[in-house]
Amino acid sequence: MIDRDTHERIIALVHKEVVPAIGCTEPMAVALCTAKATELLGCRPERIEARLSANILKNAMGVGIPGTGMIGLPIAIALGAIIGKSEYQLEVLKDLTPETLEEGKRFVTEKRIDIGLKEGLCDKLYIEITCFAGPHSEKAIIAGSHTHFVSGDASYARTSSGIYNDEIALDMRMVYDFATTAPLDEIRFIEEARRLNMNAAREALKGNYGHNLGKTIDRPLSKGIFGNTIFSHIISRTASACDARMGGAMIPVMSNSGSGNQGICATNPVCVYAKENENTEEELLRALMLSHLTSIYIKQSLGKLSALCGCVVASIGSSCGITYLMGGNYERICCSVKNMIANLTGMICDGAKPSCSLKITSGVSTALLSSLLAMEGKCVTSEEGIVDDSVDKSIHNLTAIGADAMCKTDELVLKIMTSKGK
């Protein structure tokens, strides 16, 4: 049984990590930091200097900024200074209007923004914004997570595993026990993830976003290949929400661990399966909590940003949720986790961009396969690859590869992305 203190700390952790966001969270976090620095300055800045970690640069280069029709950091920074409110957190640009967009574009064309890499940095999530007006300047810093303001370069305390000192360290048994036994009224708030992320999938169908992967899967040719099945519906609804988000739609989604795509991937597959399998509302809510909390658990040791694509993490979560909806117990759910780790480990993150919907579709497809195998009693064993008898050890093997062993891969990916055409 989970004691009351542990229960309340898990609730607090989920509230902290599962939050609404408009647009890709990396440029939104930069806009948020700009808004804070502007507020400290007390007036609109004349120029802005941004010094960022490599992973922030990587994830913000090719993604659409909601409501602008533009991509990348300059317009996000400009709008953060012009309309951003730090109290809005990752919805920092929700007050955008056509008039303020034009102001932002002028700010960019006047070359008032200087963006560069923060040298000598070890943290993968670091944003330092300095705003200048006349002889005055103010600085704001976000580090460690997308909304975590700090007063100096190293003033935030984390353990060696990447967990903040005030957070509870999770394990798979704790995740499962909490999701399946917590009083329903105390976890009902997770239903907001369903509302936002399934709405994003519906709204995506009203426009043409990104590569239109979600729409493509719904078309007659795709139905001839995939059929009109639970599988095709799951990947379509998940990809559609990602299409809209990466394509710059002004649509809020519920993020997970600082990523909207992870939030979508942890939510929509579970919701679609539950609807088509005619699961009860309680089963759906518990499956959603299981999915999101599993993703949070994995991210505790992987870190908010890494060389490993976040869809691997969130797809493991959704596989757990779907296995639960299939009637799976703790042992079957652990099998689904191991099956996932045996398959998707090593998928690189090469920034946030429209083609993320392709990776999410790969992750969700693997999640369904892993769940089906688990329910058949099939589980990748410790004789195979990086999978261990312990599900927690298997997860930490995955995150060690993503957080540590793939660092050189991350450096090369960024070098490739920044040297195109040179």
pLDDT (tens digit per residue) in 225-239: 989 999 999 999 999
Q: What is the pLDDT of residue 152?
A: 52
Which pLDDT score, from 0 to 100, does residue 55 have? Answer: 87
pLDDT at 154 over 80: no
Average pLDDT of the chain? 91
Express as a percent the part of the chain with pLDDT over 90: 66
345 vs 105, residue with greater confidence: 105
* Mean pLDDT of all residues in 120-128: 81
Higher pLDDT: 335 or 25? It is: 335
Q: What is the 3-state secondary structure (H, E, C) of the chain?
A: CCCHHHHHHHHHHHHHHCCEEECCHHHHHHHHHHHHHHHHHCCCCCEEEEEECHHHHHHHCCCEECCCCEECHHHHHHHHHHCCCHHHHHHCCCCCCHHHHHHHHHHHHCCCEEEEECCCCCCCCEEEEEEEECCEEEEEEEECCCCCEECCCCCCCECCCCCECCCCCCCHHHHHHHHHHCCHHHHHHHHHHHHHHHHHHHHHCCCCCCCCHHHHHHCHHHHHHHCCCHHHHHHHHHHHHHHHHHCCCCCEEECECCEHHHHHHHHHHHHHHHHHCCCCHHHHHHHHHHHHHHHHHHHHHHCCCCCECHHHHHHHHHHHHHHHHCCCCHHHHHHHHHHHHHHHCCCECCCCCCCHHHHHHHHHHHHHHHHHHHHCCCCCCCCCCCCCCCHHHHHHHHHHHHHHHCHHHHHHHHHHHHCCCC
pLDDT for position 173:
97
* Cβ within 8 Å of residue 53, ≥6 positions away: 117, 118, 121, 123, 124, 125, 126, 127, 305
Burial of 227 from C-beta contacts in 10 A (0-12 / 13-18 / 19+): exposed
Residue 354's pLDDT band, with cuts at 50, 70 and 90, is confident
Considering only residues 47 and 163, tell me which one the structure prediction assigns the higher pLDDT.
47
Q: Give the lowest-confidence range in 149-163, 304-318, 339-353.
A: 149-163
Q: Is the pLDDT of residue 153 over 50?
A: no
Least confident of 95-109, 143-157, 203-217: 143-157
pLDDT at 166: 63
pLDDT at 249: 84
Q: How large is the average pLDDT for residues 105-110?
A: 95
The pLDDT value given to residue 61: 79
pLDDT above 70: percentage of residues in the chain:
96
Greater confidence, 185 or 153?
185
Contacts of 233 (CB under 8 A, 6+ apart): 272, 276
**Residue 122: predicted pLDDT:** 62
Interval 264-322: pLDDT, tens: 999 999 999 999 999 999 999 999 999 999 999 999 999 888 888 888 999 999 999 99
Give the Cβ contact number of residue 301 at 10 Å: 20
Is a pLDDT exceeding 80 seen at residue 62? no
pLDDT at 278: 97
Task: Write down the pLDDT at residue 121.
Answer: 65
Identify the band that residue 421 occupies on the pLDDT scale cut at 50, 70 and 90.
confident
pLDDT digits (tens, 9 = 90+) for 387-402: 999 999 999 999 999 8
C-alpha to C-alpha distances, 261 to 177, 218, 228, 246, nearest whole angstrom: 26, 20, 25, 9
For the segment 172-194, the average pLDDT, to the nearest whole number, is 97
pLDDT digits (tens, 9 = 90+) for 69-105: 888 899 999 999 999 999 999 889 999 999 999 999 9
Contact 43, 275 (CB under 8 A): no
Decide if pLDDT at 409 tops 70: yes
Whether the CB-CB separation of 83 and 94 falls below 8 Å is answered with: no
pLDDT in the model for residue 413 = 87
In contact, 117 and 57? CB cutoff 8 Å = yes
Label residue 157 by pLDDT band (50, 70, 90).
very low
Look at residue 411 and tell me whether its pLDDT is greater than 70: yes
Q: pLDDT at position 156, please?
A: 41
Q: pLDDT tens for residues 327-341?
A: 999 999 999 999 999
